């Protein structure tokens, strides 16, 4: 059942929960960042400044700051309480596709169409390192929870793991045959999951770089993947109109079908993993919060049908 519909913006591209699950931040094609009350669905603030669509948003671990990425080639840091812009991080020469805070909140990592990954110092706004090696657009980025490693996915069909301090590539994970659209670390940092336009979800061993699982079943491109908090499940969203939950011990699939024609994009779960946010890329109805207890089927409250990404929230 839909718990709340978050209305008021143009097409929603990205969203994230605060760590306590009380607030949601969303980024939209209307170039704004919006903060919402997760319980009531009311808009708390509208953050304006980007001059292109907002592609990625995230709260800092303590929820005092928000980071956003945009087609305007900038990364912006905002005060989550006042909505005021704190800094504009410039340096990418292409659209910025993905951003994330380190857990201690001192660094931000960003990915771009310029084929680079950049690590920024939050306090100074300076680039600490530019990670080069991908041969095509970088689509997705994530920090490990301890902040020592970064994982990136690219249209060059590879997943790369980097040393966050040294800026050196640690491993290149190959196996996908199409663009890699989403990557994430397990909470303990021992595994990486990747989703690709080749319709496959892959699970990788961080220490060896080998594929532990090749999860097949989606019939269209996979646009977002995440581990559950305890690392025993993976959730994947696809343009095949489904969200799939994979139990890794042993492999088991629970398919959650969306309404006909609904391309699954992003969804986020609360710390208890019982609420999700889904958003529709082609709808101005905004995002909605839905129950995830017992893997209930999701209603489709949007007036259009393209879902574009999702992610788990972890504490």
pLDDT on residue 253: 56
What domain range includes position 293? 179-315
Whether residue 269 lies inside any domain: the answer is yes
CATH number for 207? 2.130.10.10
Whether residue 302 lies inside any domain: the answer is yes
Measure the CA–CA gap between 98 and 109, rounded to whole angstroms. 8
Whether residue 134 lies inside any domain: the answer is no
Sheet holding 201-205, edge to edge: 180-185, 191-196, 201-205, 211-215
On the question of pLDDT at 40 being above 80, the answer is: yes
- Residue range 79-112, pLDDT digits in tens: 999 999 999 999 999 999 999 999 999 999 999 9
Interstrand relation of 267-269 and 275-279 (parallel, antiparallel or unpaired): antiparallel
Whether residue 152 lies inside any domain: the answer is no
Q: What is the CA radius of gyration of the chain?
A: 17
Whether residue 213 lies inside any domain: the answer is yes
Measure the CA–CA gap between 210 and 191, rounded to whole angstroms. 10
For residue 153, count other CB atoms closer than 10 A to its CB.
31
- Residue range 210-261, pLDDT digits in tens: 999 999 999 999 988 999 888 888 988 888 888 888 988 765 555 555 544 4
Number of domains, the chain? 1
Whether residue 92 lies inside any domain: the answer is no
On the question of pLDDT at 47 being above 50, the answer is: yes
User: Are the beta carbons of 280 and 266 closer than 8 angstroms?
Assistant: no
Measure the CA–CA gap between 238 and 175, rounded to whole angstroms. 19
On the question of pLDDT at 44 being above 80, the answer is: yes
Residue 270 has phi, psi (to 5 degrees) of -75, 170
Whether residue 8 lies inside any domain: the answer is no
Measure the CA–CA gap between 187 and 229, rounded to whole angstroms. 6
pLDDT on residue 310: 44
- Residue range 136-157, pLDDT digits in tens: 999 999 999 999 999 999 999 9
- Residue range 275-312, pLDDT digits in tens: 555 554 444 444 444 433 333 333 333 233 343 444 44
For the chain, the three-class secondary structure string (H helix, E strand, C coil) is CEEEEECCCCCEEEEEECCCCCEEEEEECCCEEEEEECCCCCEEEEEECCCCCEEEEEECCCCCEEEEEECCCEEEEEECCCCCEEEEEECCCCCEEEEEECCCCCEEEEEECCCEEEEEECCCCCEEEEEECCCCCEEEEEECCCCCEEEEEECCCEEEEEECCCCCEEEEEECCCCCEEEEEECCCCCEEEEEECCCCEEEEECCCCCEEEEECCCCCCEEEEEECCCCCEEEEEECCCEEEEEEECCEEEEEEECCCCCECCCEEECCCCCEEEEEECCCCCCEEEEECHHHCCCCCCCCCCEECCCCCCCC
Measure the CA–CA gap between 224 and 206, rounded to whole angstroms. 19
Interstrand relation of 32-37 and 43-48 (parallel, antiparallel or unpaired): antiparallel
pLDDT on residue 38: 85
Q: What is the pTM of this model?
A: 0.83
- Residue range 148-201, pLDDT digits in tens: 999 999 999 999 999 999 999 999 999 999 999 999 999 999 999 999 999 999
Whether residue 288 lies inside any domain: the answer is yes
């Amino acid at each position: 059942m839909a718990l709340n519909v978050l209305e008021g913006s143009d097409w929603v591209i990205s969203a994230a929960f605060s760590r306590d699950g009380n607030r949601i931040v969303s980024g939209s094609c209307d170039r704004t960042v919006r903060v919402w009350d997760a319980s009531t669905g009311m808009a708390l603030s509208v953050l304006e400044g980007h001059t292109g669509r907002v592609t990625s948003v995230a709260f800092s671990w303590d929820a005092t700051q928000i980071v956003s990425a945009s087609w305007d080639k900038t990364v912006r840091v905002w005060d989550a309480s006042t909505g005021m812009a704190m800094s504009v991080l410039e340096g990418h020469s292409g659209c910025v596709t993905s951003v994330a805070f380190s857990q201690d909140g001192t660094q931000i990592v960003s990915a771009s169409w310029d084929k680079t990954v950049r690590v920024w110092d939050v306090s100074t706004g300076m680039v600490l390192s530019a990670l080069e090696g991908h041969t095509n657009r970088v689509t997705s980025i994530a920090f490990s929870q301890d902040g020592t490693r970064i994982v990136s996915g690219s249209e060059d069909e590879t997943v790369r793991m980097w040393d966050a301090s040294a800026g050196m590539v640690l491993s290149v994970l190959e196996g996908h045959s199409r663009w890699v659209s989403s990557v994430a670390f397990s909470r303990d940092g021992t595994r990486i999951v990747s989703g690709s336009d080749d319709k496959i979800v892959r699970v990788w061993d961080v220490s060896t770089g080998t594929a532990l699982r090749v999860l097949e079943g989606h019939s269209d491109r996979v646009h977002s993947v995440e581990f559950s908090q305890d690392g025993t499940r993976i959730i994947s969203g696809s343009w095949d109109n489904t969200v799939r939950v994979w139990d890794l011990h042993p492999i088991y699939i629970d398919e959650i079908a969306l309404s006909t024609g609904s391309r699954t994009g992003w969804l986020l779960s609360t710390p208890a993993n019982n609420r999700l946010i889904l958003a529709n890329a082609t709808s101005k109805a905004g995002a909605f919060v839905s129950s995830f207890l017992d893997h209930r089927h999701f209603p489709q409250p949007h007036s259009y049908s393209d879902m574009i990404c999702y992610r788990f929230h972890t504490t």
